[in-house]
Amino acid sequence: MLLLETQGDLTVIGAVSNEKEFSEPESSIIETAPPLVETRFADEARQLVLVDVTEERKKLLDLGARKLRQFCKERQIQGYSTVYNRKKLDGLVDFLIAQQVTSAQVVEFVEMLA
């Protein structure tokens, strides 16, 4: 059911609902929610990984532009092509380090494709 109300120069449209929709108490909704399940992956995601940036940068440079660009394209990392077009391989490597991509991830991806 719609309710029209005029307030000065404005006409306000409101909806009036049956109370039956809201009659179920909130506690029963919460009780029917599925329990959260923690996985091993959730624990791994919480770990802080420290990386030697200088060494990681060298490893990423050694992989080459083609592999890095293919990795970015397949993983749908946004903005990599703009960085590559402006700053070439050095810029792309810095961009990937800022995105917390490691050479191990790229190598794993390349091996998966082979």
- Put simply, whether the predicted model's pTM sits higher than 0.85 gets the answer no
Inside any domain, residue 8: no
Instruction: Number of helices (H) and strands (E) in the chain: give both, helices first.
Output: 6, 2
Inside any domain, residue 89: yes
When computed from its CA atoms, the radius of gyration of the chain, rounded to whole angstroms, is 27
Domain with 109, as residue range(s), is 48-113
pLDDT in tens, 50-102: 668 899 999 999 999 999 999 999 999 999 999 999 999 999 999 999 999 99
Inside any domain, residue 83: yes
Inside any domain, residue 93: yes
pLDDT in tens, 7-61: 555 555 555 555 555 555 554 444 554 554 455 555 555 555 566 889 999 999 9
Token pair belonging to 20: 């039956």
Rounded distance, CA 89 to CA 67, Å?
11
Inside any domain, residue 74: yes
Inside any domain, residue 77: yes
Inside any domain, residue 98: yes
Tell me how many domains the chain contains.
1
Inside any domain, residue 69: yes
